[in-house]
């Protein structure tokens, strides 16, 4: 029997399992599979199921694998790991989706056949039926361990507990929530009220406004952004409220010369233009994979900026020697504050990465600092909750650069309401409070 002989549900489950296998056992980003998914030519209903099944299975994989260990007498062999993945996906589907139990079992067993692991179909059938019979007991037992309770790697749990002894549990729980889609509205073209009306007419949802976020509208339904009103007309781009704070804090002014370092895919750069159209913006990113997204966003919006694919650390290759009045430095990091939006972070990051990122952040911060004019401002930001990438980095930088000082972040009303922790050299947002995003911002002035 060929793969094409099977039903869509079985093939879709197999495809999802292959994607999760690539993330967990090959260290590949889930984004690499988005183009493959388009080739499946799914209906809208199938696409919604596929998204929920794939992302949900990845979100709860560690918990599901903990349960699977209690169900199996011996571990599944390395060469058959795709079956382990399929079983973990099925455990998630039985526990947290509305699919009838019999349909999950039948489709998973057929997916095992597609994977050419027919010798394990009886094992898959028996294992899932055993789980269905005593699911509450298995789930309760799995939740006794930290990994089974929170579905996070142990190193991540320990680090979060170390940095946030009073909030670590709520941070981990919030990081497993399905994220809401937020739009950043181009209010230089349309008001929030006007866009809400367009959204209501075209999609039947009015959207959610957020106090003190003048550009933010949250969607009440999971909708493809390209299908929303005004996508092609530059009326919005997708951006979480935590990320929207960057433009609110940096406050672009008329004729500012601004550098957006590490700029791709370009959401923060677009938001700077929404706030002030007269700025002179240079956006640079080193990634040849991400840079086309930056180009695409500026092409779609028809906004004028200098876009450069190069290394911030080698300015002699791209810089024209004119120093910038303001710099936005959104550095690479563990992304530990936005796991809810990118669940593969749980599996792609290691504890050792924190120190690697810290040193990279120090290098980028020093390189950007040298491009800033006297009395200029630099906004350092990460989407991390770990202090080693945030307060430690800034503290070390201040020690090495006596012409740098902290500017108090003020006159940003959103920071007064939405779950912000003030640190000695910036502000920290954490999942589980207010915005449900984990971001760090530190504003520096060059004396």
Q: Is 360 exposed, middle or buried (0-12, 13-18, 19+ CB in 10 A)?
A: middle
Query: What are residue 429's DSSP bridge partners?
Result: 420
| CA-CA-CA-CA dihedral for 15, 16, 20, 25, to nearest 10 | -20
Spot the catalytic one: 88, 89, 333, 383.
383
Query: What are residue 327's DSSP bridge partners?
Result: 259, 378
Question: What is the Cα–Cα distance from 104 to 100, expressed in whole angstroms?
Answer: 7
Q: Is 276 exposed, middle or buried (0-12, 13-18, 19+ CB in 10 A)?
A: middle
Residue in 146, 60, 168 with CA at minimum distance from that of residue 431: 168
Question: What is the Cα–Cα distance from 273 to 87, expressed in whole angstroms?
Answer: 48
Residues 6+ away with beta carbon under 8 Å from 127? 68, 71, 72, 87
Tell me the torsion sign for CA atoms 404, 410, 414, 417. positive
88 classed as catalytic: no
N-terminal to C-terminal alpha carbon distance within the chain: 72
> What is the token pair recorded at 260?
């957006």
Residue in 97, 176, 378, 350 with CA at minimum distance from that of residue 259: 378
- Across 329-345, b (16+ Cβ under 10 Å) vs e yields bbbbbbbbbbbbbbbbb
Question: What is the Cα–Cα distance from 11 to 98, expressed in whole angstroms?
Answer: 19
Which residues are catalytically annotated?
383
């Amino acid at each position: 029997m060929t793969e094409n002989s099977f039903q869509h549900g079985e093939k879709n489950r197999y495809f999802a399992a292959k994607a999760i296998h690539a993330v967990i056992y090959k260290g590949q980003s889930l984004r690499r599979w988005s183009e493959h998914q388009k080739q499946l030519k799914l209906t809208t209903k199938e696409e919604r199921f596929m998204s929920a099944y794939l992302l949900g299975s990845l979100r709860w994989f560690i918990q599901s694998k903990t349960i699977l260990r209690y169900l199996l007498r011996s571990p599944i062999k390395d060469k058959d790991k795709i079956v382990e993945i399929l079983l973990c996906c099925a455990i998630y589907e039985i526990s947290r989706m509305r699919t009838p139990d019999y349909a999950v079992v039948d489709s998973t067993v057929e997916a095992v056949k597609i994977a050419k692991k027919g010798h394990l179909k009886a094992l898959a059938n028996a294992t899932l039926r055993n789980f269905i019979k005593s699911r509450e007991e298995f789930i309760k037992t799995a939740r006794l361990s930290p990994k089974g309770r929170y579905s996070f790697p142990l190193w991540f749990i320990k680090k979060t507990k170390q940095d946030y002894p009073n909030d670590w549990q709520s941070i981990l729980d919030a990081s497993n929530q399905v994220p809401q889609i937020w739009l950043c509205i181009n209010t230089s073209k349309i008001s929030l009220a006007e866009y809400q009306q367009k959204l209501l007419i075209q999609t039947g949802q009015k959207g959610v406004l957020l106090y003190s976020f003048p550009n933010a509208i949250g969607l009440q339904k999971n909708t493809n952004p390209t299908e929303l009103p005004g996508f092609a007309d530059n009326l919005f781009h997708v951006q979480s409220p935590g990320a929207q704070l960057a433009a609110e804090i940096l406050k672009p002014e008329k004729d500012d010369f601004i550098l957006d370092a590490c700029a791709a895919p370009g959401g923060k750069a677009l938001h700077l233009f929404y706030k002030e159209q007269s700025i002179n913006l240079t956006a640079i990113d080193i990634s040849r994979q991400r840079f086309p997204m930056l180009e695409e966003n500026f092409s779609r919006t028809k906004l004028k900026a200098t876009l450069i694919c190069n290394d911030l650390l080698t300015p002699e290759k791209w810089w024209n020697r004119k120093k910038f009045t303001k710099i936005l430095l959104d550095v690479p990091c563990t992304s530990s504050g936005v796991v809810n939006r990118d669940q593969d972070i749980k599996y792609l990051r290691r504890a050792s990465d924190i120190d690697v990122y810290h040193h990279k952040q120090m290098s980028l911060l020093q390189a950007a600092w040298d491009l800033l004019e006297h009395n200029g401002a630099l906004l350092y930001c990460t989407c991390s909750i770990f202090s080693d990438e945030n307060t430690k980095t800034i503290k070390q930088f201040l020690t090495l650069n006596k012409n740098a000082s902290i500017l108090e972040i003020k006159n940003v009303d959103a920071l007064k309401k939405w779950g912000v922790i003030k640190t000695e050299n910036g502000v920290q947002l954490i999942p589980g409070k207010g915005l449900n995003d984990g971001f760090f911002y530190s504003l520096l002035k060059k004396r």
